[in-house]
Amino acid sequence: MTKEERLLRQEQRERAKAIEAAAREAGRGPLDLPYLLLVLTLVGVGLIMLFSASFPSAYYEEGNPAHYLIRQGIFAILGITAMFIVGKINYERYRAVAKMLLIFSIILLVLVLIPGIGTGRLTHGAQRWIRLGPIQFQPSEITKVGIILYFADSISKKKDKMATLRYGIVPYAAILGVIAALMAKEPHFSGMVLLLGIGAVMMYVGGIRNYWVGLGFALVLLVIYAFATGIITYNSSRIDIWLDPFNEEWMRDKGYQIRQSLLSIGSGGLFGLGLGKSRQKFLFLPEEHNDFIFAIICEELGLVGATIIMVMFALLIIRGYWIALHARDRFGSLLAVGVTTQIALQVFLNIAVVTNLIPNTGISLPFFSYGGTALVIQLAEVGIVLSVSRQMR
């Protein structure tokens, strides 16, 4: 190749980069309005329902009926601010922090298991929290973001290699296996299921072969069968309660929470008792403002109100996948798929637990359940989807 040809080729590459950069800049439009409005509506309704569900316990525990509302409201403002900031940043920049965030989140999962470091609150015998001064958080929340960013970055670069065992299955299965083992030690079964689900969906969208998906489903069914038949005895009492929640032997002990939840849902009827008029929230239903807030929604707003909220979640999930389908590149598409899948799985699992469709696993309802750091992280993840929406084709 002559010197003139090399210079010409270099000039062509530079011109192509300049054209790509100009096109990318020109493609930065406004945030996706339907998606943004759905998120803000869910956050607003969530704050209203949180106050309605929490004021008896807040008054009893803290002496201030608005205690939980005030704290959640502050974090909601912080989260919405983070959502707009993240949404304005070019999502390509998140590639640079993907690997570091995943490693950092795994380190946090290790630290939470070390006595004296994982000193947050102990939840039903499980240590899942780290406290930093007045703030405590679950490392699993950060791990969700790490998984989504790293998987999106790595998978988007492989394309056809995702169909191979070496590049498409082994590295990601190894990462998910390490994280699942650490979360099993806490134990945090619901978070483990959620993270495995996010990773599996992103791998499938990334291009792994269908028979690997079939094998994954077979393994899931095998684990469910092992739990149901008693082969795996971890938390077997939860399986028994799930199969017979009104059994008199554990009605006042282990099965109390799900029984009160079902009573709350049933007493709401078609149109509910009215906003603020729930009876179960007066210290009858445990975790009424957290994992089981959907039961209070059913009691106060009835089947009609609960269905409207579920429809809003469904529209948000559909819009998220729509943004993924229209993303500018594979990386943006995978980011939107990861965040949307997380919201979809978390909503489904929470409602399934509250209605006793599946055994109690302890998982929060996005934008509704009390938890400041979780709300901020969820809204920041929504900002990633909004960032993708600004560069849709």
What pLDDT, on a 0 to 100 scale, did the predictor assign at position 163?
82
CA distance 341 to 363: 15
CA distance 300 to 268: 6
Helix axes 293-325, 33-62, angle to 10 degrees: 160
Tens-digit pLDDT string for the chain (393 aa): 676 677 667 777 776 566 555 545 544 788 999 999 999 999 999 999 999 999 999 999 888 999 999 999 999 999 999 999 999 999 999 999 999 999 999 998 888 887 666 554 444 445 677 777 667 778 888 999 999 999 999 999 987 888 888 888 899 999 999 998 888 887 778 888 899 999 999 999 988 888 787 887 777 777 666 665 555 555 566 777 777 777 766 656 677 888 889 999 999 999 999 999 999 999 899 889 999 999 999 999 999 999 999 999 999 999 999 999 999 999 999 999 999 999 999 999 999 999 988 888 778 999 999 988 899 999 999 999 999 999 987
β 126-127/130-132 pair status = unpaired
Q: Sign of dihedral through CA atoms 78, 373, 205, 159?
A: positive
What pLDDT, on a 0 to 100 scale, did the predictor assign at position 185?
81
Q: Are 155 and 162 in contact (CB under 8 A)?
A: yes
Ordered alpha helix ranges (H), 245-367: 256-268, 293-325, 330-354
Preceding omega of 187 cis (within 30 degrees of 0): yes
Give one word for 364, left, alpha or beta, with left for phi > 0 and alpha for psi -120 to 50.
beta
Paired tokens of 392 = 């849709």
The residue assigned the tokens 């998984």 is 147
CA angle 36, 38, 42 (to 5 degrees): 120
Ordered alpha helix ranges (H), 159-276: 165-168, 170-185, 189-206, 210-229, 236-243, 256-268
What pLDDT, on a 0 to 100 scale, did the predictor assign at position 231?
57
